[in-house]
Amino acid sequence: MSRDKLKRIAKELRKASKMHKGQAKRVESIAGKVKNAWAKIASSEKDPRLVRAGVDGYNQPKRTPNHPTKSHIVVAKVGDRVKTIRFGQQGVKTNQTKGQREAYESRHASSIAKNDKLSASYWSTKVKWSPSKTKDKDNKKWVKGS
């Protein structure tokens, strides 16, 4: 029963007679409890996608070492749109040298340029291939498997 409906019932009981004033107070009390209960439920519930992915919030990537193929997961949110994205190849050394990062950027230039938060390319570029995470920043050499 909604809170408004309970308030209407309490108002009618108050008008009916003095005998019903006690009942009106009880109904108003229940209406207040209903409001508090719904407020608690609404504030404590997490989006089930966040729980399933095991992340703390939207747009917070997390490593997934036990996933068979993908190394990271993120629940991306842009406006009202929410999407669970898995990205990165499991077990591959990435971003070891500046040359390796540049090779990645040239291969994926078109998808990186779109800069869409709901794409795996965006998160891979941000998390796995950011310049701050490059191990050897001076080495422009790219060796396969490095």
Q: Which residues pair with 62 in a beta bridge?
A: 73
Is 57 a member of any domain? Answer: yes
Specify the pLDDT at position 85: 95
CA dist list (Å): 143 to 9, 96, 101, 133 = 77, 10, 11, 18
pTM, to two decimals: 0.64
Specify the pLDDT at position 38: 62
Within the chain, residue ranges assigned H as helices are 3-16, 21-44, 48-53, 98-107, 109-114, 120-127
Q: Are 38 and 52 in contact (CB under 8 A)?
A: no
Q: Which residues pair with 83 in a beta bridge?
A: 76
pLDDT tens digit sequence for 41-86 = 555 567 888 889 989 889 999 999 999 999 999 999 999 899 999 9
Is 71 a member of any domain? Answer: yes
Specify the pLDDT at position 134: 81
Is 35 a member of any domain? Answer: yes
Domain extent for 23? 3-44
Specify the pLDDT at position 31: 72
Specify the pLDDT at position 78: 92
Is 115 a member of any domain? Answer: yes
Gap between the Cα atoms of 126 and 132, Å rounded: 10
pLDDT tens digit sequence for 6-36 = 777 777 766 666 666 677 777 777 777 766 6
pLDDT tens digit sequence for 79-125 = 989 999 999 999 888 888 888 888 888 888 888 888 889 999 999 99
Task: Please count the structural domains in the chain.
Answer: 2
The residues, ordered by sequence, that sit 6+ positions from 100 with a Cβ below 8 Å of its Cβ are: 94, 142, 146
Does residue 33 sit in the same domain as residue 85?
Answer: no
